[in-house]
Amino acid sequence: MAISLEEVLKIAHLCRLEFAEEEAKKFSEELSNILDYFKKLQTLDTEEIPPTFHAVKLKTPFREDEVQSFLDIDDILKNAPELKENMIVVPKVVKAP
């Protein structure tokens, strides 16, 4: 299944990425190869194979959250580039609509 250059450029635009035409052509070929591989995988008979969520059965190490105080909060805060009322100021990462 071939992915056209136009489709790659459209996907790049939606992802807010910019590629040179040569890069986009390379991605077109690579994505086409990936889809061809998935098409090949779909021909496998998996009727007798039970569905799984994970390849390896491991328990997730859940634990209860515990509030703990730091031994020396002043040492931690002195490494912060900017403080406000005993809190570390970080850049805003959410933009208003």
pTM as predicted: 0.48
Span 82-93, pLDDT tens digits: 999 888 999 888
CATH code at 19?
1.10.20
User: Looking at the domain assignment, is residue 55 inside a domain?
Assistant: no
- Total structural domains in the chain? 1
Q: What DSSP string describes 9-52?
A: HHHHHHTT----HHHHHHHHHHHHHHHHHHHHHTTS--TTSPP-
Span 52-82, pLDDT tens digits: 777 777 777 888 888 888 788 888 888 899 9
User: Looking at the domain assignment, is residue 72 inside a domain?
Assistant: no
Cα 12 off chain centre by: 16
User: Looking at the domain assignment, is residue 90 inside a domain?
Assistant: no
Q: Which residues pair with 83 in a beta bridge?
A: 88
Task: Residue 18: give the domain boundaries.
Answer: 5-41
